[in-house]
């Protein structure tokens, strides 16, 4: 049973393409007011036009680069100015770095874009948000998270291990957010392996995208849309989902002590109180 009592405001990060755009189109089609966040202005405008074509209404567009934490802080300020409430915050933006890259803030790119930036945004908006959905991944199986060293992956860099570590952080963050913010339901999900622009810089990844049976963005977005609209009483707060069902993450992504340590380390990293 879906929660359809009122028209909701849904903010989606990473909404210029892939899962984020597919979810935005579907949510708008179902009557939600969608707000698109993306890094590239031209792609963001094109995504907004795609949503407008699907529902007849132009969505609000907000540009922010999650590789720059000041962009995230500015985004939070602008969203607070525009909206007294955000019914759903979909932390969907993500990146995979095929070589070791350190952001202007001093963090490994995938850790910052996939975890620290949404962690910061969620904390800055927590009093306005009614529900949070986080795009995680079963790639967390390759994660080797050490909260005492969030840049550990920069040494002996392996792209998919770094990415998996950031996805491990997503699941831990979601569970800890549910514990710390009991009034704000939070859910993480695995979208499946989706055919998107992800990893386009790599010829090997691009070849795999063409040859392997990847899901469409629309299929990958189904669980996001479902979690955004389902009655919370039917869901597990802090839970991890796949294909609209509870999904058990690996123990290293379900450790409450590790989740608490990660929260403290992340708060220190982005300069907020734990």
**Phi-psi region for residue 187, left (φ > 0), alpha (ψ -120 to 50) or beta?**
beta
Name which of 139, 195, 197, 194 is nearest 169 in CA terms: 139
Alpha carbon 68 to its chain centroid, in Å, reads 16
Catalytic residue, chosen from 83, 163, 187, 240, is 163
> What is the distance between the alpha carbons of residues 157 and 228, in angstroms, rounded to a whole number?
35
Q: Is 83 a catalytic residue?
A: no
Name which of 24, 81, 19, 80 is nearest 53 in CA terms: 24
Residue 245, Cβ density class (10 Å: 0-12 exposed, 13-18 middle, ≥19 buried)? exposed
> What is the distance between the alpha carbons of residues 265 and 253, in angstroms, rounded to a whole number?
16
How many residues does the structure list for the chain? 274
The Cα-based distances of 193 to 68, 95, 138, 242 in angstroms read 27, 14, 9, 11
Q: Which H helix or E strand runs over 61?
A: strand 60-63
Catalytic residues: 163
């Amino acid at each position: 049973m879906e929660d359809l009592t009122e028209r909701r405001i849904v903010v989606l990060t990473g909404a210029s393409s892939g899962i984020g755009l597919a979810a935005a189109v579907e949510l708008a089609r179902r009557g939600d007011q969608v707000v698109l966040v993306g890094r590239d202005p031209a792609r963001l405008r094109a995504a907004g036009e795609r949503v407008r074509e699907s529902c007849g209404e132009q969505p609000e567009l907000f540009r922010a680069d999650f590789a720059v934490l000041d962009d995230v802080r500015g985004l939070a300020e602008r969203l607070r100015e525009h909206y007294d409430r955000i019914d759903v915050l979909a932390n969907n933006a993500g990146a995979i770095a095929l070589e070791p890259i350190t952001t202007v803030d001093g963090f490994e790119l995938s850790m910052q874009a996939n975890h620290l930036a949404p962690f910061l945004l969620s904390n800055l908006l927590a009093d306005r948000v009614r529900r949070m959905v986080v795009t995680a991944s079963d790639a967390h199986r390759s994660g080797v998270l050490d909260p005492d060293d969030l840049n550990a992956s920069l040494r002996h860099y392996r792209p998919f291990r770094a990415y998996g570590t950031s996805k491990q952080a997503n699941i831990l963050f979601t569970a800890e957010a549910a514990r710390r913010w009991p009034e704000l339901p939070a859910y993480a999900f695995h979208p499946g392996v989706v055919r998107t622009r992800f990893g386009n810089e790599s010829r090997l990844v691009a070849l795999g995208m063409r040859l392997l049976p990847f899901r469409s963005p629309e299929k990958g977005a189904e669980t996001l849309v479902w979690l955004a609209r389902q009655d919370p009483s039917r869901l597990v707060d802090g839970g991890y989902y796949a294909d609209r069902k509870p999904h058990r993450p690996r123990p290293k992504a379900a450790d409450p002590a590790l989740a608490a340590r990660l929260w403290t380390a992340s708060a220190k990293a982005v300069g907020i109180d734990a």
